[in-house]
Structure 1
């Protein structure tokens, strides 16, 4: 009987693992609505030109919504929201807070209020006013008709991205960082996001449990041979990157007092550059460095992944151009985490070694140590 229970337990664990590893791709009307308004308001992260956004779609958006360039919703974003942080990832965070049901914007009541410092970037009063103005824009501009007319394009994007997402080993996250018991992962698309990609985090209450919602919101599509195309050499590492944020950011925040001096020492002489890259403080740079080092560890442990000839060293060089100078040192120390799973059962258990690696970095040299290949 004991053996039977053991087999059943293993089967259940396998089924749960398989369920977690299937991540579906969706194009959401709510996200596109907010993206269009942000684009009309010239919000950073939504004001790309045709070099980064599918030209045919950009033309459709600009021609269709030209009469609404001064709509109250657009003016509210431009004058009241964008100066206080409504840019880059945050419009997509707002879009995930509501649903469109029968043409009406409905706020999601199952979300945990204020999760991930949401209300530090928008007041509850401004959020309420924005959603009311967004409803007016939705009706006035006949946005639903525009969205429905482009459903074939959105579907093509979904299918092209799904072929990329299906190549990712989502079980790696639990193995590498330690398991999350209640976590929902999604990939959403937005053509107007262009050359940017975002991680958006929420929590919702479901059957008495808080479920973490981790969204990777992806832009950057093009056409190849007439079909929507997402290149694996940039798409796969970026998806891995965006999901890494939900693990790496909280860990960095937990140990911030122990690494902040070193992080600030690195940040200060490069502050203007980092700000130009939307990394407005040392914590953001450390989050990105940690996230990117974990991306490289994923790529190293999955040599079968076809990146169109793009190499690990190519990706590291991109990180160095972003001035993530600690990248090689963090990659190297993370090798210990993988080599000693019994000693470090989760990434949280490993953080003392991470702290040591950060604080041992010689800022004045800016010459990361030699990469160790597993």
Structure 2
């Protein structure tokens, strides 16, 4: 398997000092890999109690991790990350990007000088320098190298599973669609502890080339082997790499700033609820997501396109059909629009028009959804108890989710509920029923505990005809005391 190799000359092993900067970014696209530097960062974040890194989806890994590192929950590196979450808001994508900014263990130091913006603004020079010193101490004292060596076989299985699907993605589409090659590297990293999280991040080199990282989660285990939803993986990797083209084009056009803020202001609360807090972010996300749908229109079937479209509408991008249609105008006239940057004046018009018509668009989506509800896929039962039960037997070992229509029966997609990872029970997927109308989970429950699990709509649960759920379904119950 192709690996990314960083070459260093005169490497300084002074903690907190930068190695001699690599001159330029990786060339082209790398294959998905488990990066031990990223795993190290997510382990410390998990010990520090970061909710987004408490996944139980991969017990073959996380159970081993929790047992190995239990004595180090109060380690200075862990305490420092707790402090940084409170003081700087350190979270989510800021965790793995620090990992790839460092040299390989056992001697961890920055590959480039720390700045107030690199590897990420929530680190900064002062905090980043101090943390790297503590991280080296943690790596040695917690015997991280030994732990990772014991995971080599699992990591190899995971890389192969992701690599097989990655090979089916048409990576040449990006240059064809956006009108240019990516300037720098496109690097997918599989995060063993990410659960359902997926993140992006950039490293900018002295020559202005960029490595753009897609940190991939969304997977679990089946029969002790890695399993993930191939469709979700494809869409997510395309999404993250679309950022490599969309963000520079949109952020490089100053004329888009005011129209983007108009679009954001027209639908600010639903966007803020998803941590999209300004026009620039909403604009980038809109056209990245629309580009993914254009990719599917070329590469996949109508059912996959419809699923992705309604998933994005469900995520409150209610103008997604209009944005996709706009990109169709771009694709249809490449003589006038040779690359994506040349299309930004039309995007500015789109923002202004959409903001002015937001009530009409909202009503249009509501009417479309009502027409679809009758024929949509629904969860009709949670067995052997009813959803919402308050006296579930904690010795129960299986839970079955029953649907009102037969499914394709190849994948699944779940997430933690409103209570977060604390209410997510340990589970493994056993099998679909013979008629494909039910999915059975092997579960581990504790007495007197509140549990939640979200059955995600618009992803893996779909019929052979392409009919899917229009809304997430929350499974919620409480076990009785023994």
- Identify the TM-score tier after normalising by the shorter chain: 0.7 to 0.9
Aligned positions of 1:198-217 closer than 5 A: 198-205=199-206, 209-217=207-215
1:283 aligns with 2:280: yes
1:104 aligns with 2:98: no
Q: Distance in 2 between matches of 1:329 and 1:348?
A: 19
Change (3 A) 1:151 1:54: same
Aligned residue number for residue 268 of structure 1: 268
Q: Distance in 2 between matches of 1:277 and 1:135?
A: 34
Q: Which digits, 9 at most, give the CA deviation of each residue in 1:75-106, with x for residues without a partner?
A: 111112454232111111111110124x2112
The alpha-carbon deviation at position 43 of structure 1 amounts to 1.9
| Partner SS state of residue 98, structure 1 | coil
Change (3 A) 1:64 1:198: same
| Partner SS state of residue 249, structure 1 | helix
Aligned residue number for residue 330 of structure 2: 337
Change (3 A) 1:277 1:106: same
1:134 aligns with 2:132: no
Q: TM-score, structure 1 length as denominator?
A: 0.83
Deviation larger for 123-132 or 356-365? 356-365
Q: Distance in 1 between matches of 2:332 and 2:53?
A: 42
Q: What is the number of residues matched between the two proteins?
A: 335
Change (3 A) 1:275 1:73: farther
Q: Which digits, 9 at most, give the CA deviation of each residue in 1:314-347, with x for residues without a partner?
A: 1111111110112111100000111111110110
Change (3 A) 1:323 1:294: same
CA-based RMSD of the aligned residues comes to 2.3
| Partner SS state of residue 360, structure 1 | helix
1:363 aligns with 2:366: no
Q: Distance in 2 between matches of 1:280 and 1:84?
A: 17
Structure 1, gaps ≥5 residues long: 1-18
Q: Distance in 1 between matches of 2:80 and 2:161?
A: 35
Q: Distance in 2 between matches of 1:172 and 1:113?
A: 34
Structure 2, gaps ≥5 residues long: 1-26, 369-482
Deviation larger for 35-44 or 180-189? 180-189
Aligned residue number for residue 74 of structure 2: 70
Q: Which digits, 9 at most, give the CA deviation of each residue in 1:27-63, with x for residues without a partner?
A: 1110000010011112242123x2xx21221211111
Tell me which structure has the larger Cα radius of gyration.
Answer: 2
Change (3 A) 1:150 1:118: closer
* Alignment match of 2:88 (pick from 69, 77, 84): 84
Q: Distance in 1 between matches of 2:332 and 2:283?
A: 23
* Alignment match of 1:297 (pick from 294, 297, 303): 294
Greater share of residues in helix: 1
- Contact 1:325–1:368 under 8 Å retained in 2: no
Change (3 A) 1:247 1:40: same
The alpha-carbon deviation at position 155 of structure 1 amounts to 0.7
- Contact 1:330–1:358 under 8 Å retained in 2: no
Structure ranking higher on relative contact order (CA contacts 8 Å, 6+ apart)? 1
Aligned residue number for residue 150 of structure 1: 151
Aligned residue number for residue 235 of structure 1: 233
Q: Distance in 2 between matches of 1:114 and 1:91?
A: 15
